[in-house]
Every structure is written in structure tokens, then in C-alpha cells.
Chains A and B, each alone.
Chain A
Amino acid sequence: MLPITPESRPGVRADAGGRADWIRRVIRVAVVGIGNVGIASGPASFTLYANALNSHRPAPQEDAVQFGIFTVSDITQDPTTGRTPTEAERIQATIAIAKHAEEVGLDVFALGEHHNPPFWSSSPTTTLAYIAGQTSTLQLSTATTLITTNDPVKIAEDYAMLQHVSGGRADLMIGRGNTGPVYPWFGKDIRQGLPIAVESYELLHRLWREDVVDWEGKFRTPLQGFTSTPRPLDGVPPFVWHGSIRTPEIAEQAAYYGDGFFANHIFWPASHTQRMIALYRQRFEHHGHGTAAQAIVGLGGQVFMRRNSQDAVRDFRPYFDNAPVYGHGPSLEEFSQQTPLTVGSPQEVIDRTLGFRDYVGDYQRQLFLVDHAGLPLKTVLEQLDLLGEVVGVLRTEFAKNRPAEVPDAPTHAALVAAKYGDEAPRQATPNANRGDNLTVGASPYQDAAAPTGSAFGPAATRAGGAR
């Protein structure tokens, strides 16, 4: 049992004293990522990089594991009161939840994407950009961004924008969604879901890494001399996670690019998650991005807490019994046994969460679902207060016995350090607009194009793709 002590409470984050240690960890990631290429890691490079960092960045995250919350953006009747919030209320509540997540010391807020009621989050970057403006350290992500029905060109533009306005606090999780009609609504064929996901991501990947892209595929109109603007912040694309419940090809896709893999984890038995993560780790190594232990893994989780277990079970049961996904199915007790759902005291959540490592290995990101099924804002904010305490303990415990080769959670600063070492990162500066990239020459930009090499292995920047 791991008691919650006052010392373990959040609030003590990257300060001056912690910085040197953090830089060392960033460099460790860099060395791990580039493998045999090597990196000059003398004191001079630390200083230079730290200065660059201090000049225009918020305090960096210093976490081996990032903890946060993810929301599906459902607008659900509160079964205890019979009241359904309005869209406006729920949208404002979600912004309040995100801000409070930062206040209690969480690292990540991730938002789903849906295109039908009773969900409100059709335009995640709009919401995330607003939250970015209201917060200072919170990492903003998605869960998930639909690679199948969104135009990859627009994803490239939107998330590069989010990266810029948030000061490098944006990443995204790519998925295929779970609502069939979204495909026809956006003019796509659901039977082609996987091939679309593969082709669209390949294009997205290139758009962030090549200034001028000529491209032709099966599922979108061809591109000739196209430049996706703005270029990614500091020449480093947003980190990408790939989410899938049980499609081995998606684990393979994440491994192929050296990207992260996120297992939903919450509506499924742990054995599924274990198999998918094992496959991803094995293929990550196969594709030459590092050892299996160095693959970048994220997990979902679902918790409801009160100070003591009985109160938690009593208070959550009506929400569980009527929840959109599992309501009217298994009992709370059965579902808690068969999936990672934990309803109980903070201590029980700590113990259960620490057990996740036993079947997926040391990992980089843990997101919890805490705000669905009609739970009112007040309750969700209480959950965040408790989650802040829990995460304080989890940080300490997850750090114990964590092998040195396991990379820290990916951040923009770490990716920049990995890519540029002690050189200044790229600052894209366009030439005068002549309206036609094809005749401008090699690049529409004055500055040198981004160097090759990447944060998580050479395959992540394959110029020209692998077609």
C-alpha cells in the first residue's frame, strides 16, 4: 500500500533546481532516439539549449510519464436528476475541466472528435486552441482525430497551427472512429477505412516534413507543389499517437513511423491491450526505432473516486448503470473485474494503475476518463482534485525501477533537442509570394529545409515516403 502524503501532492513542477536534471533526461531521449548517430552532449550544449528554451517557452514538462484526462465530449442526462445539460453548458464545463486539470498538476488534456449528437466536439482544434490560451503547461491532445474522414491536408494545417499558438504543447492521436455514418457524411467508404488511414497518414507525415509535396493517391485529389502552412513549430512536427483497440495493422503503422501507440484500454479486457502493445513494441524494434522497451506507449483508464470505496461505488453506480456505452449491460462489479475501470478510494486507484505496467511494460502516458455518462461538473472537478493527489503518488512510484533506456514522455522540447542537438531549431521564413511553388525553385522558404533525422528514429522522416 502506498499512502498519500502531503509531500506527494502536486504543485512542485519544473523549477530552477529541477532543470539540469530535466535537461539530462531530454538528452537521454535524444541519444536513445538517434541511436548510433550520436550527439554532442557537453556542458556547452546544455547551456545553449537551456537558454533557447528559456527565451520563449513555458516551463517544460519534466515527466517520465505524463498523466492526464481524455473526454469523449458526450452530452448525457444526469440519471440522478434527470437533467441533460445544454451544449453551451457542457462546452463551458469541459473548458473548466481542462483548466482545473492543469491546476491539480495533470499534464495532458485530450479531446475526442464526433460529428453527431449527443456529442459536441466536432472541431477539436478550436476548443484546444482556446484551452491553450487559458493554460500554460497543459499538453493538448486528441482522442482521437479521424484520419479517415478528415482531409490529411487540413489535419496538417490545423495541428501545425495548434502547435504554434500553444507554444509546442500540442500533439494528436490518430484513429479511425467508431461511428459508421461519419464515412458517408464525409464522402468516404467505410469498407476502405484501413487503406484510407494508411494513405492519409503517409501524406500527413510528408506534409509536415517536406516543404513542397507532389503527391498522388487513391482517396483524395492529387497535390502538385503543395506546401502545408504554417511549417511545424521549430521544424518539428507534432508528436503522433496511433489509437486502435484491436487492429494489428494500426499497431504496425505506429511502429513503422516510430510514432506512439495508445491503447484505449477502458472498454476492453486487459488481455487485448497486452497483445496489441506487445505487437507494437516488437514491430517498433523491427523497424529500427530502438528496442521494444523504447517504444512510446500510452494507456487509457477510467476511475471514479471518493475518500472511501463504499461512497465511490454508491455515487457512481447510477451513472454506470445508465452510461451510454456499458449501461444496462454488465454490473459495475463485473465490469470493474473485466476492464481497468476502478471505482473506489484514491489508494485503490493507485494500486490498480501501478499494476498496468505489469502487462504493458514501462510507458509514457496515462489518460483517465472522468467526465462522461452525465457526471455533473462539480463532481468531475472533485474527481480532478483526487486525481491530482493520486498522480502525485503515481509519479513517484512509476519512477522507481524504471529502466534507464525507457524514454520519457515525448514533448516538443525533447523532440527539438533530439532533432537539433545544440543547433538552433529551424524557423521557417517564406520567400515573397509568387503564388506558384512550382516555379519558385527548390523551396518557397528562405531558410534551409529541416535536416533529416528524427526524434524517434530514421524511418520517421523517410523523405519521399516508402511507396
Chain B
Amino acid sequence: MTAKQIVVVSAGLSTPSSTRQLADRLAADAVAALAERGVEAEVRTFELRELAHDITNHLLLGFAPPKLEEALDAVASADGLIAVTPIFTTSYAGLFKSFIDVIDPQALTDLPVLLGATGGTPRHSLAIDYAMRPLFTYLHAVPVTTGVFAATSDWGGADGDGVRSLPERIFRGAKEFAELVERTDRSQHVADPFRLDRPMGHLIGGLAGE
């Protein structure tokens, strides 16, 4: 069996970045959860910071420079996406949204997604559900129920906000994600944007009202 392709996208802006740290933890637990089920997984991680200029150029010009194209192709053909962004001013980072904006609108269909976000205080944790989740459902992706928010304080206290610790929430999200990733075979049938779906007979026949 071929390995499941997991793509991690991190929109953290600083280095080192707690967003990247959360992304790595989510990926590690997802791989472990898949391994428990006997499923091999390969992980590719993209830091949007390194693609920031390419993303802007794509917005301006309409095509992806080579490095960005590699990331877009990887996302489009993934079996699962782990998407993590810092929360700025009540929502996902602008860079994160710009990246989503240059993805082909059909490219995320049926894609299992594990949502993660970071922020200064736990008061922003709902941004995952009111901002990130609708974005992915609009694109017909399949975000798992548990989104993982890591506030600054989560990186210290053993039991976080006293309900569930960060490691527990990461584990839970990763487990839900692994269940979906195991079932999909998206990476085996990659859509070709240059494929001719409607040959001329179909185009003209359709117009004749047949």
C-alpha cells in the first residue's frame, strides 16, 4: 500500500514559531495515529512565510512561481491537510487567507483537514470555528470536529485551562483526522487542470438543447 500523503501548512510569521510548533505536534500525532492503524504516512511541511512573496505575485499575476506551485500541487493531491495559522485581529492571518485564495477552488474537494490555530490568549479559540471552518467547508473540504487552539499559556501549565491539556486535544484531533485520512485515496487520482472534460460534440450538443 502506498503511503498516505499528509501536507502541513503553517502560517506562523516568526522564527521560531509556536504556530509551526503546533503544526509539527499535530503532524507527529497524526502519523502516530495512522501507524497504530497500520497505515504509513509521508509528511511535507510548507512554511507560508517562505512563500509570502510568491503568494503575492500569484495574486497579482495569476500564476504560481515554481516553489509555490510545488506547494499548491502538494495540497491539491494530498490525502490530508493540517492547516495552522496564528489568529490576528479575530481571524486567520492575512497570509494564510492569501494562500487559500490562490488554491484552485476545486482542489480541496473531499480533503480531510485538521485545523489548528495559535493566539495570545484562549479568548480567541473560537476563531477556528467561526473563521477557519467555514472557509474549508465552502471549499468542500472536510475539517474534522476537533480544532486545536494553542494559547500562549497552553505551552506552560500541565492542564491548560483545566479542561483538556494541549497534548490531549492534539491527540484527539489527530485521531479524528487519521480516521478520515485512512479512508481516502485522494492522492491516487490527481485532477489534471488541462484535461479536456467536454469535447466539442458535447459542447455543441449541449448548446442545441439536447
Contact = CB atoms under 8 A, between A and B. Distances in A.
Nearest to A278: B194
B131 interface: no
Nearest to A269: B63
Contacts of A251: 196
Interface of B: 53, 56-57, 60-63, 65-66, 193-201, 203-209
A246 B205 contact: no
A217 B209 CA distance: 9
A466 B203 contact: no
Contact of B199 (A246, A252, A276, A326): A252
Interface of A: 194-195, 198-199, 202, 217-218, 246, 248-249, 251-253, 255-256, 267-269, 272, 275-276, 279, 283, 287, 325-326, 328-330, 334, 338, 465-467
A222 to B, nearest CB: 13
Contacts of B204: 198, 202, 465-467
A262 B99 CA distance: 31
Contact of B194 (A199, A253, A275, A467): A275
B196 A248 contact: yes
Contacts of B194: 246, 248, 275-276, 279
A202 B57 CA distance: 38
A256 B200 contact: yes
Nearest to B206: A195
Given A198-B204, A202-B207, A275-B194, 9 more contacts: A202-B204, A249-B198, A249-B203, A251-B196, A279-B194, A283-B196, A283-B199, A329-B61, A465-B204
Given A198-B204, A326-B60, A329-B61, A338 B66 contact: yes
Contact of A325 (B53, B61, B207): B61
A329 B199 CA distance: 36
A258 to B, nearest CB: 12
Query: Which residue of B200, B205, B207 has the most chain A CB atoms within 10 A of its CB atom?
Result: B200
A267 B64 CA distance: 11
Contacts of A198: 200, 203-204, 207
A326 B61 contact: yes
Contact of B65 (A279, A330, A467): A330
A195 B200 CA distance: 11
Contacts, number: 72
Contacts of A466: 200-201, 204
14 contacts: A195-B206, A198-B200, A218-B207, A248-B194, A248-B196, A248-B197, A253-B200, A267-B63, A330-B57, A330-B65, A338-B63, A338-B65, A338-B66, A467-B208
Contacts of A287: 200
Given A248-B195, A275-B194, A253 B203 contact: yes
A352 to B, nearest CB: 18
B62 A267 contact: yes
A252 B207 contact: no
Contacts of B206: 195
A252 B196 contact: yes
Q: Which 7 A-B pairs have the closest CB atoms?
A: A256-B200, A329-B60, A275-B194, A467-B208, A248-B196, A330-B57, A329-B57
A267 B63 CA distance: 8
A334 B61 contact: no
Nearest to A245: B62
B196 A330 contact: no
Contacts of B209: 218
B199 A467 contact: no
B129 to A, nearest CB: 32
B111 to A, nearest CB: 22
Contacts of A269: 63
Given A246-B194, A252-B200, A199 B207 contact: yes
B69 to A, nearest CB: 8
B19 to A, nearest CB: 27
A242 to B, nearest CB: 12
A335 to B, nearest CB: 8
A77 B195 CA distance: 40
Nearest to B194: A275
